[in-house]
Amino acid sequence: MSVGAQIEKFYQEATANQYLWFAENPDGTFLEFDVKDNRVSLPLWSSKSRIQRLKKLNPDLLGEVEPRGISWEKFKEVVVPILVQKNRLVNLNLSGKNLTGFDLPLEQLIRNFEAISSVS
């Protein structure tokens, strides 16, 4: 599945459920990845099964992370301020053995999610 299709699927599933998934490290921190331009990206998924599938494909890197879910409202209330303070990007439905995805600004996620939610 292409990156564009992964993003489209993310918005379809996540806006329908008003729920997001992230991965938690054993120490309780979010799974994050260093990306270009000295930035850090938080991967988000539209379902728990997507994280579980990725863990199976990448056990050395992701074997110990645990899927955690959060409602869209709680995400905006609790997580967004932290991500803004830390200047984080987000990655939607990161997938595959090579961890394929596309990093985007948090503001774009919020704008897109809310626009799609208002149409649904």
Architecture of domain 3-119: 3-Layer(aba) Sandwich (3.40)
For β-strands 66-71 and 19-24, DSSP reports them as antiparallel
Residue carrying structure tokens 């991967």: 43
Side chain identity at 10, as an amino acid letter? F
> Residue 19: what are its φ and ψ, rounded to 5°?
-145, 140
For the chain, which residues make up each domain, given as ranges? Answer: 3-119
The string of pLDDT tens digits covering residues 83-103 is: 999 999 999 999 999 998 889
The pLDDT score that the predictor gives to residue 58 is: 94
pLDDT in tens, the chain (120 residues): 576 788 899 999 999 999 999 999 999 999 999 999 999 999 999 999 999 999 999 999 999 999 999 999 999 999 999 999 999 999 999 999 999 888 999 999 999 999 999 876
